[in-house]
Amino acid sequence: MKYIDLRSDTVSHPTDEMREAMARAEVGDDVYHDDPTVNQLEADAAALLGKEAAVFVTSGTQGNLCALLAHCQRGESIIIGDTSHIFRYEQGGMAQLGGILPHTLPVQADGTMRLCDLENAINPDDEHKPVTRLVALENTHNMAGGVPISAAYTAEVADFARRNNLILHIDGARIFNAAAAFDVDVKSLVAGADSVTFCLSKGLCAPAGSILVGSKDFIRRARRARKVLGGSLRQAGVLAAAGLIALHKMRHRLAEDHRNAQLLAEGMSEIPGVALKSQNTNFVFFALADDAGAPLDEFVHKLRRDYNIFMSPYGGESGQIRLRTHFWIDRAAIDKVTSAVSAILS
């Protein structure tokens, strides 16, 4: 990349190996289940997460929406974190298109919801209330700063869901970052979940596409939801070919992104005028100290104009800047970033 783009891991480009595999991909019409590359990707993804079946979807947003539409009826309610991506950044698709009501709970600093809050959020069998159908977790938790959610906590929520006849869905857009952070088999992080969405783009570098996994019957219903959302692709093998490399190769290098995020955080924290806020997995957040002498927008503008470095002012009033490391951010890029920030703030 000619520039250093830290705004998100969604900005990562496909690797050369992916582009070559895409050019060579065997394809067919996936609506007829005829695309061998998509079929391979779905089978491998289901096996890797320990579920019966999988469906390739266009995006994380579509995967989450297909899951909710397949699990819930109109007028039903789901329990979900108030800072979850599904609630905050997916345009309320569940309500717009599925008539599903979100019952939000506060997300704690570690990305979890308290079990007592979960218990209290289930509606009684009362004709005044929507039926509570599902609980959703997010791993890693984006707005909590990329914090990974442990297998132990997920198992507790899965147990809570089972006891109360609820479905557990995980928005695991970055579930492989969580697996890398804990150095565990990803199966352990999703063992009790009925469905999981994860992204092949973002840190895994595929140009597009996500996967939704679950039981065979659930995936059959999710495919129907994908169709009505216009997400059923034809010769999608060209994308799935990159997805296979994401799944089998790129997930093994995510710990390197986490180490780079740590180096970036350390480097930034030594610069006068920078107040480091947090670092988890591949996420780094910082603010400018009051005496830094540079308003946030001007700082971000100068980095882009003078150094080709892209950063994202995050969350408006929070006054923070969010950085994400990914495949295209190496150690040399991190050195360039810390030098540029020092120069601007000096």
Positions that interact with ligand TLP (CB under 6 A):
8, 10, 59-61, 85, 89, 138, 142, 171, 173, 199, 210
Q: Provide the H-helix boundaries in 6-59.
A: 16-24, 36-49
CA distance 141 to 280: 10
CA distance 13 to 188: 29
Kindly state the smallest distance separating residue 16's Cβ from ligand TLP, in Å: 23
Residue nearest to ligand TLP (CB): 60
* Rounded alpha-carbon distances, angstroms, from residue 50 to 47, 115, 173: 5, 25, 17
In the complex with ligand TLP, the residue whose CB is nearer, 42 or 138, is: 138
In the complex with ligand TLP, the residue whose CB is nearer, 154 or 210, is: 210
- Phi, psi values for residue 53, rounded to 5°: -150, 165
Say how many C-beta atoms besides its own lie within 10 A of residue 43's C-beta: 12
Kindly state the smallest distance separating residue 61's Cβ from ligand TLP, in Å: 3
Peptide bond into 140 cis (omega under 30): yes
Kindly state the smallest distance separating residue 33's Cβ from ligand TLP, in Å: 23
In the complex with ligand TLP, the residue whose CB is nearer, 189 or 271, is: 189
CA distance 260 to 237: 32
344 Cβ contact list (under 8 Å, min separation 6): 294, 299, 302, 303, 306
In the complex with ligand TLP, the residue whose CB is nearer, 79 or 271, is: 79
* Rounded alpha-carbon distances, angstroms, from residue 49 to 84, 136, 195: 22, 17, 10
In the complex with ligand TLP, the residue whose CB is nearer, 55 or 122, is: 55
Kindly state the smallest distance separating residue 165's Cβ from ligand TLP, in Å: 26
Query: What tokens does 247 get?
Result: 């799944």
Query: What tokens does 109 get?
Result: 């600093």
Kindly state the smallest distance separating residue 127's Cβ from ligand TLP, in Å: 34
Kindly state the smallest distance separating residue 105's Cβ from ligand TLP, in Å: 17
Kindly state the smallest distance separating residue 172's Cβ from ligand TLP, in Å: 8
In the complex with ligand TLP, the residue whose CB is nearer, 3 or 89, is: 89
Kindly state the smallest distance separating residue 140's Cβ from ligand TLP, in Å: 7
CA distance 17 to 12: 14
CA distance 194 to 67: 10
In the complex with ligand TLP, the residue whose CB is nearer, 83 or 271, is: 83
For residue 211, what is the enclosing H or E element?
Answer: strand 210-214
In the complex with ligand TLP, the residue whose CB is nearer, 8 or 308, is: 8
